[in-house]
Amino acid sequence: MLTTISERVSALRHYLETHHLDAFILPTADPHLGEYQSEDLLRVTWLSGFHGENCMVIVTRDKAGIFVDGRFTVQVKQEVPDSVYEYGDITCDDPKAWLTDRLPSGSCIAIDASLFGIKWYQEAKAFFEHKGCELVSLPENPVDLLWEDRPAAPCGPIELFTGSAFSCFVKRDRVSAQIIKSGQDALLLTQPEDVNWLLNIRGCDIPFVRTAMSFALVQKNGSVDVFIDTDRLPEGFYQHTGEGVNAHNMAMMPSILEERVKSLPRIQLDPEQTNAWLYNLLVDAGAIPEFALCPVAWKRGCKEGIELEGMRAAHIQDGIAMCRFLAWLDGQVKDGCEQDECTLADKLQQSREGVEGFVDNSFACISAIGPNAAMCHYEPEPTTARKLGQDGMYLIDSGGHYQLKGDLYGTTDITRTVKVGSVSDEQRRRYTQVLQGHIALDDARFMPGTTGMQLDTVTRLPLWKEGINFNHGTGHGIGHFLSVHEFPPRINTNNPYGALEEGMCVSNEPGYYLEDGYGIRIENILAVRKAGDVNISMLAFEHLTFVPIDTRLLMPELLSGSEKAWINQYHQEVYEKIAPFLNEEETVWLKKATELVA
Amino acid sequence: MLTTISERVSALRHYLETHHLDAFILPTADPHLGEYQSEDLLRVTWLSGFHGENCMVIVTRDKAGIFVDGRFTVQVKQEVPDSVYEYGDITCDDPKAWLTDRLPSGSCIAIDASLFGIKWYQEAKAFFEHKGCELVSLPENPVDLLWEDRPAAPCGPIELFTGSAFSCFVKRDRVSAQIIKSGQDALLLTQPEDVNWLLNIRGCDIPFVRTAMSFALVQKNGSVDVFIDTDRLPEGFYQHTGEGVNAHNMAMMPSILEERVKSLPRIQLDPEQTNAWLYNLLVDAGAIPEFALCPVAWKRGCKEGIELEGMRAAHIQDGIAMCRFLAWLDGQVKDGCEQDECTLADKLQQSREGVEGFVDNSFACISAIGPNAAMCHYEPEPTTARKLGQDGMYLIDSGGHYQLKGDLYGTTDITRTVKVGSVSDEQRRRYTQVLQGHIALDDARFMPGTTGMQLDTVTRLPLWKEGINFNHGTGHGIGHFLSVHEFPPRINTNNPYGALEEGMCVSNEPGYYLEDGYGIRIENILAVRKAGDVNISMLAFEHLTFVPIDTRLLMPELLSGSEKAWINQYHQEVYEKIAPFLNEEETVWLKKATELVA
């Protein structure tokens, strides 16, 4: 068995030699180009030892390079042996140029094209050709051939989902109208979220996401070919999805798509979400691809009826779990218990497991004390976890998937920054400014057609005023028992497209991070709603999250009257909604945590 | 002579018949596709009687249609005989479809392609072909052949401009670097503003704009072919612009461009600003056009050194003129004089003519009393002008071009809404909210890279909160002794491209309009500057406009402490900068107008 990274890279080099190839490029990706991968697809980890995201590994006959972004420059050195790999920055250095600098003209560069987007593939092909090299798309992934103890592909249950506002039949009918309207013959769905939403199914194939891995082709008449592990399809699947749905195993995808293209050549697809192998297959079969944002994604983003009810109900359960955890945490701090980041995360996990309907975490908990909170994507390790006792602030960012009685399903995501020690005036000032940004967004009313990019500014103004900023988006969409990071929508500085529409659920999570110092983030989930009480059709937000915001960290003299009123009004709502579910001790805590700010 | 509209349309029909054409389409446009046209190019007015903007006239052998936008639906009926023309809405009705509904397949539709953008031309060509018709680009404009007393082409002086921060040679050198960097051979300049900026010249060929009409081709080596009325070039032109500039008469443009394209095929141009005739000419000559925003426009937008000094100095003179006018206006109101909108505009004109360096108005003054101010583009007519005495508010939007000692040049644009009678609480409330939006933008600090679209939101939030909005952009760029409406930049809801950069000058003009009721707008000009006193490189605004904002219209209880502080701070600056230039009576007025708001 190949146990060391060096042995694995050598084995890959042997493969290259045997197949007359000069290099192999491997990114962290799956054929859906999604955020998370199932264990059997963690090929980069197997080949390099690296566990982070957004990485590209290149192995030639005598060199190897690993390229990561700024978040992972420390981690890559800890995990990946420098005796085997050179380190590079994926955002500054061009891995393609690194490669051609090390290869003679005439070299043959291999990839598994199903792991690359169309744009990367086309640019790389042109780049390598320009350098006199050839880009070869392999029919197999060599890592899969070499990886002896490779985990099995996901095999969890696929379930019929009953929490949707509309039946699969109605959804397909609407999507079919959209396909006809745009003059296409069919729509390719490459995102499991879209396929699962359309067919009203759910799975647990990858960590944190409630989807079964799948692709689908929706025809203009509403028929759907879904490519999925058919062995795991639950009983009643065809009845549930209605006439016109045909499920096939993934292996059948090439032949069936080639067949479909003959009669349905005009196929709409999202170029950002389609892998190059699939795209080339369609084009080679004669498809006329039409690039567009996926209309299913937009429909999926706008929750209605029972879906919004489910999101609300999930957030109440999550609020109960969070309040219990925060009450316990305050006690631990008071008693001087030196809990560490891992035990705190475990405690919150237990608290969530103790409320009704908790199914799973919606992402890996970020539990960060003091300076660790300055790293936005920090995840504690038991051996290195920081302890309570020496720092002023603790940041916890977490969420869950819930399944409640009455077909109520929902997903949560919340961040709170909590006082766990003494804090400086600067820290309180920053905390207050972050909250001012949070309030400004929560409280905004806006014209239909307003984008997340237009609203993002209002959360940053209080920080910009002080010459500071935070380097992440203000908000992301959140799925309905699907994925916690859902596109659309986005509230950030670089996404001008797409308005916030009624029923979309988004996070509101401004922050501030001082490297090696501390980190602040305050996150609620909001649902876009009609403003209702005004004379033209404005939109506004409904908050879904009900958990106290730590007022002990505030500098009240910086707050305007209306900001204080917002805090007090929010806390009154929190108390009313959550207190009925708490025991006496917890209720006393909640009463205090929601005391009026004057 | 053809004196009536009916006679003119008949004469055009005769031309169509003689030339075997079935229709002629004529828009309000010049070959630069600019905002204003010189008198000899007001062909739509000659052919239809219509004096407004954004219009399209279509004449067939037996029908005629005129298409205008919502601003002009009343005016078109007053000016254009319905016995000759059918009226249409240019934004709702498609004039092309109107035409093909009235023409048989096989018809021949004629245009002067130099008056249409590339996109319109290509879409129309495809549309008409689809309907079995042919779009013919005429070698001449038939209106020019029929228009006997057509005004002469502009013949005002062209001047060497000495108010620039850089010589023409330096500017050409920088533009050449930009062309090389983008891998092109040459850059086509179609906007007189860009040509005049690059060559450091100015003219007065069209109303309100300080440019000489011209096109230019800048080669990657920095050489420039400029197409301009060479008879009017001032002495010293070639010395002023430096080696490598060649001026040619407009008539030479086709042959010279065709020649240049042979050795410089890759030509960058802005598709929004290039007419179809010119584009077709280049492509037919073998050019490989590259579409991009004009880099000269971006450089022109960022004022430096003496240019910013000139803008500041011009605004001081304009402030003096405005304060004298507003002081006089208050006296008129107090004395109950029934001045009308025209006499008020005339008085302001006189006041501007009385200060140092005033050259011309930078646009037609909007002088609007009461309900007339609800029309954003209202221009008073002597016969119908509304009088002081019955309404509460008066809106005046105006500006000038200034040429001051020490090569200081600048352009201004200001709107004030003034109390001229009793106002309702609702009016004061709206005025206060408009000012809150104005303050929020003026006071914003923002990260480099922030666009006008991102900032636009902050001016609207106070109005959105009340369920109301204003239907125009918050701000436009303002040129340096060029055009008052300068692209880039824009601060509005639909322009995601292009960050606000240091030295750009923009208007800040939120408003509120109640149809048939009243109109409010408060406009200052701002220059983007480095924020300076903060720890990362933030940008902020410097106000250039110094004229009191009418505090008698405020509802102070709606203002926050920091908003009041902004008003008081601004008014203190106004007093310090303007009072030294006023007489005693005016100074007393200014003291009162800038009194502290408590």
* pLDDT value at residue B71: 82
- Contact list in B for residue A561 (CB cut-off 8 A) is 560
Sign of the alpha-carbon dihedral angle for A351, A355, A357, A362: negative
Residue B536 pLDDT level (bands cut at 50, 70, 90): low
A66-76 average pLDDT score: 90
What are the angstrom distances between the C-alpha of A490 and each of A475, B42, B484?
A: 6, 47, 35
Helix (H, G, I), strand (E, B) or coil at B590: helix
Phi, psi of B524 (to 5 degrees): -120, 160
pLDDT at B469 over 70: yes
Helix (H, G, I), strand (E, B) or coil at A101: helix
- Contact list in A for residue B533 (CB cut-off 8 A) is 467
B469 close to A (CB below 8 A): yes
pLDDT tens-digit map of A497-510:
789 999 999 999 99
| Residue of A445, A464, A560 lying closest to B446 (CB–CB) | A464
Task: Give the Cα separation of A71 and A377 in Å (integer).
Answer: 8
Task: Give the Cα separation of A107 and A292 in Å (integer).
Answer: 35
What angle is formed at CA A248 by the lines to CA A242 and CA A251, rounded to 5 degrees? 165
**CA of A459: which chain B residue's CA is closest?**
B458
- Contact list in A for residue B465 (CB cut-off 8 A) is 445
Helix (H, G, I), strand (E, B) or coil at A186: strand
Look at A456 and B454 and tell me if their CB atoms are within 8 Å. Answer: yes
Helix (H, G, I), strand (E, B) or coil at A91: coil
A350 close to B (CB below 8 A): no
Task: Give the Cα separation of B445 and B537 in Å (integer).
Answer: 10
Phi, psi of A190 (to 5 degrees): -110, -10
Phi, psi of A543 (to 5 degrees): -85, 140
- Contact list in B for residue A468 (CB cut-off 8 A) is 534-536
pLDDT at A538 over 80: yes
| Residue of A458, A464, A534 lying closest to B466 (CB–CB) | A534
Please give, rounded to a whole number of angstroms, the shortest distance from the CA of A443 to a CA of chain B.
9
- DSSP single-letter state for residue B273: T
Residue B555 pLDDT level (bands cut at 50, 70, 90): very high
Number of neighbouring beta carbons within 10 Å of residue B126: 11
* pLDDT value at residue B533: 67
ipTM of the complex as predicted: 0.87
pLDDT tens-digit map of B269-320:
999 999 999 999 999 999 999 999 899 998 999 999 999 999 999 999 999 9
Q: Find out whether B502 and B529 touch, Cβ atoms under 8 Å.
A: yes
DSSP readout, B345-365? HHHHHHHHHTSTTEEEESS--
Residue B496 pLDDT level (bands cut at 50, 70, 90): low
* pLDDT value at residue B35: 81
Cα A358 to the center of its chain, rounded Å: 19
Token pair 């400004």 is found at: A440
* pLDDT value at residue A498: 85
Look at A454 and B450 and tell me if their CB atoms are within 8 Å. Answer: no
Residue B1 pLDDT level (bands cut at 50, 70, 90): confident
Please give, rounded to a whole number of angstroms, the shortest distance from the CA of A391 to a CA of chain B.
25
- DSSP single-letter state for residue B547: -
* pLDDT value at residue A234: 97
Helix (H, G, I), strand (E, B) or coil at B543: strand
Helix (H, G, I), strand (E, B) or coil at B13: helix
- Contact list in B for residue A453 (CB cut-off 8 A) is 453-454, 496
Domains, chain B, ordered by start: 5-146 (3.40.350.10), 159-294 (3.40.350.10), 302-588 (3.90.230.10)
Q: Find out whether A445 and A534 touch, Cβ atoms under 8 Å.
A: yes
Q: Pick from A429, A436, A456, A457 the residue to mutate for testing the B interface (most B CBs within 10 Å).
A: A457
Q: Find out whether A344 and A442 touch, Cβ atoms under 8 Å.
A: no
Task: Give the Cα separation of A569 and A577 in Å (integer).
Answer: 12
What angle is formed at CA A283 by the lines to CA A277 and CA A289, rounded to 5 degrees? 105
Residue A70 pLDDT level (bands cut at 50, 70, 90): confident
Look at B493 and A457 and tell me if their CB atoms are within 8 Å. Answer: no
Q: Find out whether B556 and B568 touch, Cβ atoms under 8 Å.
A: no
* pLDDT value at residue B119: 95
Q: Find out whether A573 and A591 touch, Cβ atoms under 8 Å.
A: no
Task: Give the Cα separation of A276 and A261 in Å (integer).
Answer: 17
The residues facing A59 across adjacent strands are: A24, A64
CA dihedral A252, A255, A258, A260 (to 10 degrees): -60
Q: Encoding tokens for residue A387?
A: 């302890």
Smallest Cα–Cα separation from A525: which of A497, A504, A495? A504
Task: Give the Cα separation of A203 and B505 in Å (integer).
Answer: 55
Give chain B's mean pLDDT: 96
Q: Which distant-in-sequence residues (6+ apart) come within 8 Å of B297 by Cβ?
A: B191, B193, B194, B270, B487, B488
| Residue of B444, B467, B560 lying closest to A560 (CB–CB) | B560
Please give, rounded to a whole number of angstroms, the shortest distance from the CA of B455 to a CA of chain A.
7
Altogether, the residues listed in chain A come to a count of 598
A90-100 average pLDDT score: 92
B530 close to A (CB below 8 A): no
Q: Encoding tokens for residue B168?
A: 């023409």
**CA of A497: which chain B residue's CA is closest?**
B496
Q: Find out whether A435 and A462 touch, Cβ atoms under 8 Å.
A: no
Task: Give the Cα separation of B427 and B429 in Å (integer).
Answer: 5
| Residue of B449, B455, B538 lying closest to A467 (CB–CB) | B538
Sign of the alpha-carbon dihedral angle for B320, B321, B327, B330: negative
Q: Residues of A34-44 as b/e, b for ≥16 C-beta within 10 angstroms? A: bbbbbeebbbb
Q: Find out whether A493 and A453 touch, Cβ atoms under 8 Å.
A: yes
Smallest Cα–Cα separation from B17: which of B58, B61, B62? B61
| Percent of residues in chain B assigned helix, strand, coil, to nearest 5 | 40, 20, 40
Smallest Cα–Cα separation from B264: which of B224, B220, B226, B296? B220
Identity at B88, one-letter amino acid code: G
When comparing pLDDT for B376 and B592, which is higher? Answer: B592
B453 close to A (CB below 8 A): yes
B456 close to A (CB below 8 A): yes
A565 close to B (CB below 8 A): no
B residues 538..557 contacting A (CB < 8 A): 538
Task: Give the Cα separation of A286 and B512 in Å (integer).
Answer: 55
Number of neighbouring beta carbons within 10 Å of residue A250: 15
pLDDT at A337 over 80: yes
When comparing pLDDT for A74 and A441, which is higher? Answer: A441
Identity at A339, one-letter amino acid code: Q
Number of neighbouring beta carbons within 10 Å of residue B409: 26
Q: Find out whether B265 and B288 touch, Cβ atoms under 8 Å.
A: yes
- Contact list in A for residue B433 (CB cut-off 8 A) is none
Q: Find out whether A85 and A66 touch, Cβ atoms under 8 Å.
A: yes
A557-572 average pLDDT score: 96
Task: Give the Cα separation of B378 and B394 in Å (integer).
Answer: 12
Look at B536 and A455 and tell me if their CB atoms are within 8 Å. Answer: no
What are the angstrom distances between the C-alpha of A561 and each of A361, A558, B558?
A: 37, 10, 11
* pLDDT value at residue A478: 98
* pLDDT value at residue B411: 98
pLDDT tens-digit map of B80-108:
999 999 999 998 889 999 999 999 999 99
* pLDDT value at residue A532: 76
DSSP readout, A28-77? S--TT--S---GGG-HHHHHH----SS-EEEEESS-EEEEE-GGGHHHHH
pLDDT at A399 over 70: yes
**CA of B496: which chain A residue's CA is closest?**
A496
* pLDDT value at residue A179: 96
B376-381 average pLDDT score: 86
Phi, psi of B133 (to 5 degrees): -110, 165
pLDDT at A388 over 90: yes
* pLDDT value at residue A58: 98
Helix (H, G, I), strand (E, B) or coil at B56: strand
Q: Find out whether B34 and B191 touch, Cβ atoms under 8 Å.
A: yes
| Neighbour order of strands in the sheet with A393-398 | A366-369, A393-398, A414-419
The residues facing B419 across adjacent strands are: B393
When comparing pLDDT for A324 and B73, which is higher? Answer: A324
Task: Give the Cα separation of A563 and A97 in Å (integer).
Answer: 52
B526-541 average pLDDT score: 85
Please give, rounded to a whole number of angstroms, the shortest distance from the CA of A535 to a CA of chain B.
6
pLDDT at B402 over 80: yes
- DSSP single-letter state for residue A156: -
Q: Which distant-in-sequence residues (6+ apart) come within 8 Å of B412 by Cβ?
A: B314, B315, B318, B362, B399, B400, B401, B402, B478, B525, B544, B545
Task: Give the Cα separation of B573 and B455 in Å (integer).
Answer: 24
Give chain A's mean pLDDT: 96
A534 close to B (CB below 8 A): yes
Residue A533 pLDDT level (bands cut at 50, 70, 90): low
Look at B457 and A450 and tell me if their CB atoms are within 8 Å. Answer: yes
Question: How many Cβ pairs closer than 8 A exist between chain A and B?
Answer: 80
**Least-confidence region, from A460-469, A529-538, B189-198:** A529-538
- Contact list in B for residue A531 (CB cut-off 8 A) is 467
